[in-house]
Amino acid sequence: MHKQIKENIHFIGVLDREIEVFDVVMETEFGTSYNSYLIKGKEKNAIVETVKDRFFDEYLNNINELVGGIENIDYVIMDHTEPDHAGSLEKLLELNPNIEVVGSRAAILYLKDITNMEFKSRVVKQNDTLSLGDKTFRFISAPFLHWPDSIYTYLEEDNTLFTCDSFGCHYAHDGIFISELDAKEQIDFIFALKYYFNAIFSPFKKFLLQAVAKIETLDIDIIAPGHGPVFDVKSEAQQIINFYQSWAEDYNQHVDYETMNGRTEKPYDKLVVIPYSTSYGYTETMAMKIVEGIKSFEEDIEVKLYNLNVKNFGDLKAEIMEHIFFADSVLFGSTTINKDATPVIWDIATAMNPIVHNGKICTAFGSFGWSGEGVDFIFERLKSLGMKMIPALKLKFKPSEEQYNELIQYGKMVAESIFAKESKFEQYESGNGIICKKK
């Protein structure tokens, strides 16, 4: 299947309706597309991105129908080299070794390892250009969206921006264009769009804002991403840029699925998330006293407490991770069972990663009976992620009245660290557990 976007600009990608999981971490409820574009110039022809290798035969047929054979392709521009976009490049080069591959320095290096072959290449930098005779590509450096290799490609005469993964989503649609979605499909699409942003781009908000700043002066009629529908209406192209910008600015974006209009709402000014599991209520008591201390220091700090077990965890995990994304501090509470932390607490700890959550103020706390390793293991996990760590807090069995006050003081110091953005603690032994005091 191929479809004209503008004169001499054609969609030559493929749809994958059978895919259920993408990149291990994403469900693909609506399938996906691997978007590739063919641009015919007076002197040269170029392809932007390729498709996943298992769709090569269909892909090659699309090319042949438009230009009469792969020998008539002069350039392949790779805005990003992940194999769902670069998967067919090796076969294209085998059929036509004269193709010149265009990309960032990182992209060319990656492609040599992906294809395991030498090929003609051109490294491009910010504002470099490439002419097809009557059409001019201008390249925009956009690293870490979402690999170090990524660039955007702007076709100047046609006001068309090729962005690969940016502004895309996993959504397969026969119509190709955003303007061809009906009302129900628009609802599904915007859901897929936000899900894709959260999964792929939320770790790279800083780089996304830098890229948006580089394209804000461009006259953009069309955005042609690497997955999902092409934004063929100028207002829709601008709207998707606005969506991405607001999502990247650490705001919760609430979308009216009926109108596709977004409104931004600033998240909590200061937020502490406390997921915990408790066997006999002792760890829960610790959590409550810590919260009491946080609130006594600053009442306006929002605290989200989650008492987790195997029955309720599945329903709560998504909500917890969303709050953790925006949290200033995350305190993990776990009892120790069989010399380890509980599985539900491990699940959340392993769902955190150093790109998304780096720098949050974190610790682990909990009650134990005869060993107490659970708190230590969670603490070390968080430390390895590059969090700003508060020393672990653990008590043996039930907190005493004396320790209630120490727990409250601990909570106050957690709150103080949020405002100071640094740990205010040192460890010391106290009674039957480890507690902390202010430096």
Task: Report pLDDT digits (tens) over 141-168.
Answer: 999 999 999 999 999 999 999 999 999 9
Q: Please state which CATH number belongs to domain 3-265.
A: 3.60.15.10
**42 HSE (CA, 13 A, CB side):** 5
pLDDT at 371: 86
pLDDT at 250: 61
DSSP 8-class letter at 157: G
**In which order are the strands placed within the sheet that holds 151-155?**
129-131, 136-141, 151-155, 160-164, 222-225
Q: Which candidate, 237, 251, 258, 66, places its Cα nearest to that of 160?
A: 237
Q: In the chain, list all ranges with CATH 3.60.15.10.
A: 3-265
Q: In the chain, list all ranges with CATH 3.40.50.360.
A: 271-438
Give the residue carrying structure tokens 């409104």. 263
Rounded alpha-carbon distances, angstroms, from residue 21 to 28, 37, 51, 437: 5, 25, 17, 47
Residues of the chain predicted below pLDDT 50: 251-266, 422-423, 426-439
State whether the Cα torsion 256-261-266-267 is positive or negative.
positive
pLDDT at 258: 38
CA distance linking residue 323 with residue 267, whole number of Å: 9
Q: Which fold has domain 271-438?
A: Rossmann fold (3.40.50)
pLDDT at 204: 87
Residues 387-419 pLDDT 10s? 999 989 999 999 999 999 999 999 999 999 998
pLDDT at 267: 60
pLDDT at 431: 41
| pTM of the full structure | 0.76
